[in-house]
Amino acid sequence: MNLFTLPFLPILLVILLLMAGASFLLRAWSNWVAIGGAAAAALLGLGIWQVDFSLPMWIMPAGWNIDLTAALTRYGYTFQLQQDNMPVVVLSLLITACALLLAANSPRYSTFPALAWLLVTGYIFVALLTSGPKTPVVAVPLALAILAAGGIFVLQGNVAADAAGPLRMLLPPLLAAPLFLLAAWYIDQIPLNPQDLALTRIAGTLMGLGLLALMAPFPLHSSLPVAAETATAPAILLVSLLRQLAVLHLIAQVLFAYPFVYQQTDWPVWLSWLGLLTTIWGGIASIGALNAGRLWAYAALSDWGLIIVVLAAPGLRSWTLVLFLFTLRVISMATSAVGINALQTTVGSLDLQRLRGVGSRMPWNSAAVLLGGLGLVGFPLSAGFAAHWAALLTLAEIDWRPAAIVLIASAGAFVGYVRLARMMFGYLENRRIPRERTLSAAVALTALAVTIAVAIAPQLLSDTISWALTAFG
Amino acid sequence: MIEAIFTAFGGLFASGLGVLLLAAIAGAIFILWDWRIALAGAFLLHLGSSSVLVAIHHVPGLLAAGQMMAITLSLAILAVSGILQSSSLTTRQAANWPLRLMALLFITGAWWFLDTGYALPLFSKMETDLLVWTALCGLALWSFSSSPLMAGVAVLIWSTPLYALASVLLPGSGLTAMIGIADLILALACGYLILLEPAARATIARRPALQWMVQAAEYVRRQLRQVAATEQTDPSSRGGNVATDPLREKAV
């Protein structure tokens, strides 16, 4: 006997907001709140992963049912859990779980769990947006601007520091917003005059430029490298990966709904050039980086440039590659973040001079920083190698020159990490640096084990990527 | 009632002179680089822009009122943050005004040179020019400094064309309300950054507006003090003698 059928999305919203509220109220015990939040986010993510869309009802005791695919409509905008947005929701929750787990090791930032829950709530509901009074993708840049403003609170973390990095994060979505608004008007005109190719060309150009701005390639990239010097590693991990996942999902939606964006414009050419410039700049800037956080961000930038280049030829094959690169990016960045977080907490700064010899006191965390960073560069025997190698082969099949440029840029980032390794495993000047705690070493060891496992057997990820392709392919 | 107010303002701003005035305000915000003027200027820009939308494009007065409410609240957030953390502002001076003027002239020249004659759909060329100019001034304001207060003002100036596009090109989409929410949250974030800014060291002294008068008064005071000191050390000048001056008597 069915007494009540409850829609899933309002329940999800209440759970997420309750978690944020509870995390804020219990912030005095921030370590335990972060660990509990990580477990909750992981459980929620894995629970949604198990949803079978052929049986979209969870039957609860006492005749209660939860309708998993029920739509939630407010002010003309409809949110719904579907096959093509579920992987994004799950990945967002898993990234949040990862960041919360890392935050358990940074005691100076007690409001992070609450802010992380609020941020992921926003990103999840952006992913769940399925229709609106106009084409729903128009609202996404504005939503991303709001979430970027939320990211400022996460990044700054109540620390009196330079505001340049967080401020620059606002620029890409705000640049994209008017382009999307204008493109939406042209898209509305297409059914009225389907023969007019100028309409599709203008709409495609505007939307393509908006997507480019949202991807924050060179020269719009500078927010994270600047912020990475002072912000905590979990904050950087959370803010950057959630935003990039949302942008990739938006690109997939736009290219599926409006194929003229890449068919009738020079979008692929712009992507190729900007992607190459981004990866080159990431490599060059890594060589001169004087801060481990900045080096990490530049290596991640170089990797992001490669993802942009691969996106230049949209199709099933390239989306598989993009997801492969992105999944390994998450693993590499998380591994690096484990080490950077521990170094930042113990040493108090990520300046290379102050990290001199730290490897002798904190070997496992130093190894995590290096192996995670080398994974972002695609160094052999690191997590990112398989994806980078596949991407380079794909590029080289079309034209060997971009592949060579990516390889040279990766070499630049590698040089940066060699400098870091020499510094960390050099002579220990600051003898007051304590030895790493057992728990911290255990977390670093776990991260290293995951990275090495994925590096040795990347096929472990093939099922996950095939499943995630439903949202992008 | 609301529409009547905006239509009345629209009568003022929806003319050649009104558009020029708005463009001049946008440029002046960048050149003068004073946060109080910037906040007032951003308010005037939005008032002018929303009035023009109501008067010419018949945008509902309620939408324009919503825009003004969101902007006023956002500006109030920035103003309060600026007042509370005024010590950090002096270090964020973005060059001097001649350099900013040159930058603006360069932007104007480049825009004039590259102008394709494009007009936004449903907008006149003059309106398009005003919106583009406003957006360019907002971007210039943003790119010349990493001060969160000026960046907050720049975001609000940048949102002027956003409101215009959303309310005229996409009516009924609810995007105008979303832009208002975005403005408020962005202003909150900028306010948070302003309050967290490290306090400035007093390396750059602020010059009062009427500094020459202050300097003149100081000069007169110094001269008077010197005269008084001379009179004290030279008793003959004030008519003293040995008999009346005990110190001098002792010396003699």
> Any chain A CB within 8 A of the CB of B161?
yes
Residue of B nearest to A178 (CA): B162
CB A445 within 8 A of CB A339: no
> Any chain B CB within 8 A of the CB of A132?
yes
**Is A164 within 8 Å of B173 when comparing Cβ atoms?**
no
Q: Out of A133, A153, A159, name the one closest to residue B174 (CB).
A: A133
> Any chain B CB within 8 A of the CB of A158?
yes
Instruction: Please give the single-letter amino acid code of residue A338.
Output: V
pLDDT in tens, A254-264: 999 999 998 88
Best probe of the A interface among B74, B142, B196, B201, by most A CBs < 10 A, is B196
Q: How many CB pairs under 8 A join A and B?
A: 102
**Is A145 within 8 Å of B198 when comparing Cβ atoms?**
no
Identify the residue with better confidence: A313 or B65.
B65
DSSP notation for A412-458:
HHHHHHHHHHHHHTS----TTPPPPPHHHHHHHHHHHHHHHHHHH-G
Q: Out of A76, A182, A186, name the one closest to residue B174 (CB).
A: A76
Tokens of B162: 């956003």
Contacts of residue B7, Cβ cutoff 8 Å, sequence gap at least 6: B51, B54, B55
> Any chain B CB within 8 A of the CB of A192?
no
Instruction: Please give the single-letter amino acid code of residue B27.
Output: G
Banded model confidence at residue B238, pLDDT cuts 50, 70, 90: very low
Structure confidence at residue A360 (pLDDT): 93
- The answer on pLDDT for A361 being more than 80 is yes
> Any chain A CB within 8 A of the CB of B183?
no
Output DSSP code: residue A291: B
- The answer on pLDDT for B247 being more than 70 is no
What's the per-residue H, E or C state across A330-388?
HHHHHHHHHHHHHHHHHHCCCEHHHHCCHHHCCHHHHHHHHHHHHHHHCCCCCCCHHHH
In DSSP terms, A358 is beta-bridged to none
pLDDT in tens, A395-423: 898 889 999 999 999 999 999 999 999 99
Banded model confidence at residue A456, pLDDT cuts 50, 70, 90: very high
Tokens of A438: 């057992």
Q: How far is CA A315 from the centre of its chain?
A: 21
Contacts of residue A73, Cβ cutoff 8 Å, sequence gap at least 6: A79
Structure confidence at residue A107 (pLDDT): 65
Structure confidence at residue B244 (pLDDT): 44
In angstroms, the separation between the Cα of residue B131 and the nearest Cα of chain A is 11
A6-18 average pLDDT score: 95
Best probe of the A interface among B74, B168, B178, B184, by most A CBs < 10 A, is B178
d(CA A157, CA A142): 23
pLDDT in tens, B23-57: 999 999 999 988 899 999 999 999 999 999 999 99
Query: Rounded to 10 degrees, what is the CA torsion of A20, A26, A30, A35?
Result: -60
